[in-house]
Each structure stands twice: as structure tokens, then as C-alpha cells.
């Protein structure tokens, strides 16, 4: 499959701080790539560099096979929202789009109505942006990013601060852009539960480095189940789990977590047959958030 974006040891240093540290990332055509990391991990710095707003200290990256040294024309195929979209509050959505088209050197923008309909703002008429909800502003920001008809879209925290309805609107819009328009999307977000509903691929970033890239399909297969046991004779359970090579973690004197994909009924039967009866047992599937935390050095890795 064609790779749209690839970086090679991309590094960005400030005086006493390294924002990106030999970062390598690969984004396939047609994917929705979820970029996951803590605050300060380097997500926004990476997006700013890809958009040409900053230059790397060293390393290289290519977009559509073209090195960033010669990438001016390639960027015409990109659209982006970094942090918050820049909107003129005393203008309408249509007026903002007209102004955007002029700013990026486009001739008369003839598909404004289509863009507004695409982001579900076609009924706002003469309503000023100052009267828009946060979700409407975010959708207008995406419309502005689509004004040059890009096939690669970069979104930095597009649902930050939105209410549930606004989050659903953005989710549906992203899926529509990807599936119906064929737009490849890089999306950075702290809302991991929401990201898990749309991403086809993930990149986990920490301290300016991609520590893992994985497809959503492979991730689902690797995600473990967690079984939490409350017990009164913890030493007997620990001895059994050690002998049978279970992946476990002792939380306290009465609590053990088991990180295994096992049938709960079969697991319980096995324990009872070995004279081990837990006081309480609870099964929980691993989430994207817990997977990420474990990847950073939690109790268990995949």
C-alpha cells in the first residue's frame, strides 16, 4: 500500500528541550492514523513541521515521496487544523470560506455550498461565527482546511472541549471524509475512546519518539483481557499462577490481576479444581487507554 507520509530520524530541538527525537512515522494512503501521546510528547510539533510552520533540526520526511526540501507544491494537497481553527467571528461561514480561498491563492471558490453541506453548516445562512457553538466552529475549521480539495488532512485535537453531540458530529464527518472522499487523515487526540471508534492505524509517541506503530486490526488481536480476583489466601494463588506461568500482577494483599485471554468459566473451573476459590472475580477487556499506559511502562506490556 502506498505510503503518504514517512519520516526518517526526524528531530526538533529547542535550547534545552528536544521536542522530537529521531522520530519515525509511516502513514498509509487511505488510513485514519491516530497519533497518541501525553501532553508535551511532540504531537503538535510534528504536525507543525509537516505543515511547514517549523523546520526540523535534523532528519528528513517525505510526503507523497517528495522530500520536505522540495515540498512546496505537495503541500497544496494538504489541509490542516492545528490546535484551534482561525475564524473571523464577525463573518458568516460562507464569508470565512471566501476569505480562505483568497488567502491560499484559489480563484473564485465555486463549491462553497458543497463544502458547507459536507460539514453540515449549509443551513446557517447569515449567522455570524460568533454565534456558533464550539462544534460548529470546529466543523467550519475543517471546511476551511478542505478548501483546496486536499487528499491528506491533519487534525490536532479536533474534538477538544466539545459536548457529546459535537463529538459525534466530528466523528461522522471524519469517517465521511475518509470513506467517501478518500482523504487520508492524521488525527491527534487525547480522547482515546473516541479515537478507537475511527482509527485504522495508531502511532504511540513518547518523549518525541514513536514507540510503536500498529494497525487497529492487529491491536484488537493483541489487546488482553484483565481478570481481577479478590482472594483471602493470596499466597496460594500466587504460587499457582507462578507454576502455571500466568501473566499476573499483585495489587495488594487481597487483589490480583490476570492479564490473559482466557474463558472466564474455564478459568474458574480450573481454579476450583485446584482448591482455589476467589471471593470475587471481575473480567474487563483492555482499553486503548490502558494499552497506551502499559506501553509507557505500566504493569504489563503487550
- The secondary element (H helix, E strand) that includes residue 290 is helix 288-295
For helices 134-145 and 164-179, what crossing angle results, to 10°?
A: 20
Distances (CA, A) of 179 to 65, 85, 139, 175, 207: 23, 23, 17, 6, 32
For residues 243-255, average pLDDT: 93
Enter the CATH code of domain 3-220: 3.40.50.300
Domain boundaries, the chain: 3-220, 224-285
Phi, psi of 162 (to 5 degrees): -80, 155
Between the ranges 74-78, 83-87, 126-130, where is the mean pLDDT highest?
126-130
pLDDT of residue 113: 87
Per-residue CA distances from 290 to 181, 199, 262, 269, 298 (Å)? 33, 17, 19, 28, 8
What are the distances in angstroms from CA 60 to CA 12, 57, 112, 171? Answer: 11, 9, 36, 32
Q: Is the pTM of this model over 0.75?
A: yes
**pLDDT score for 94:** 92
Q: Determine the Cα angle at 31 with ends 135 and 170, to 5°.
A: 10
CA distance 247 to 245: 7
> Would you say the CATH fold of 224-285 matches that of 3-220?
no
Class of domain 224-285: alpha beta
DSSP 118: H
pLDDT of res. 300: 43
Give the angle subtended at the CA of 186 by the CAs of 180 and 189, to the nearest 5°: 115
Under DSSP, the state recorded for 9 is E
Higher pLDDT: 65 or 100? It is 65
Cβ(132)–Cβ(140) below 8 Å: yes
CA–CA distance, 69 with 66 (Å, rounded to integer): 8
CA distance 26 to 18: 21
pLDDT of residue 301: 38
Predicted pLDDT of residue 110: 63
Q: b or e along 220-253 (b: 16 or more beta carbons within 10 Å of the residue's beta carbon)? A: eeebbbbbbbebeebeebeebbeeeebebeeeee
Average pLDDT estimate for 189-200: 94
Place 72 in a pLDDT band, splitting at 50, 70 and 90: confident
Amino acid at each position: 500500500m502506498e505510503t503518504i507520509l514517512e519520516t526518517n530520524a526526524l528531530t526538533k530541538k529547542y535550547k534545552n528541550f528536544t521536542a522530537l527525537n529521531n522520530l519515525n512515522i509511516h502513514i498509509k494512503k487511505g488510513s485514519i492514523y491516530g497519533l497518541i501521546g501525553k501532553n508535551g510528547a511532540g504531537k503538535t510539533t510534528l504536525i507543525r513541521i509537516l505543515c511547514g510552520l517549523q523546520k526540523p533540526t535534523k532528519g528528513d520526511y517525505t510526503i507523497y515521496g517528495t522530500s520536505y526540501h522540495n515540498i512546496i507544491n505537495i503541500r497544496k494537497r494538504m489541509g490542516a487544523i492545528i490546535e484551534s481553527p482561525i475564524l473571523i467571528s464577525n463573518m458568516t461561514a460562507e464569508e470565512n470560506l471566501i476569505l480562505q480561498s483568497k488567502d491560499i491563492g484559489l480563484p473564485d471558490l465555486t463549491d462553497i455550498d458543497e463544502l458547507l453541506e459536507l460539514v453540515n453548516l449549509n443551513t446557517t445562512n447569515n449567522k455570524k461565527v460568533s454565534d456558533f457553538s464550539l462544534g460548529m466552529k470546529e466543523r467550519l475549521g475543517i471546511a476551511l482546511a478542505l478548501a483546496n480539495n486536499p487528499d491528506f488532512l491533519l487534525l490536532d485535537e479536533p474534538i477538544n472541549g466539545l459536548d457529546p453531540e459535537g463529538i459525534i458530529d466530528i466523528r461522522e464527518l471524519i469517517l465521511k471524509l475518509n470513506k467517501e472522499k478518500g482523504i487520508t487523515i492524521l488525527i491527534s487526540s487525547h480522547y482515546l475512546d473516541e479515537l478507537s471508534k475511527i482509527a485504522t492505524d495508531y502511532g504511540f509517541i513518547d518523549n518525541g519518539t514513536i514507540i510503536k506503530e500498529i494497525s487497529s486490526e492487529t491491536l484488537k488481536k493483541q489487546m488482553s483481557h484483565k481478570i481481577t480476583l479478590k482472594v483471602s489466601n493470596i499466597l496460594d494463588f500466587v504460587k499457582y499462577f507462578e507454576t502455571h506461568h500466568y501473566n499476573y500482577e499483585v495489587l495488594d494483599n487481597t487483589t490480583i490481576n490476570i492479564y490473559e485471554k482466557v474463558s472466564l468459566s474455564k478459568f474458574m473451573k480450573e481454579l476450583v479444581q485446584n482448591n482455589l476459590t476467589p471471593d470475587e472475580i471481575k473480567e474487563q477487556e483492555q482499553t486503548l487507554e490502558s494499552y497506551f499506559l502499559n506501553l509507557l511502562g505500566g504493569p504489563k506490556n503487550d
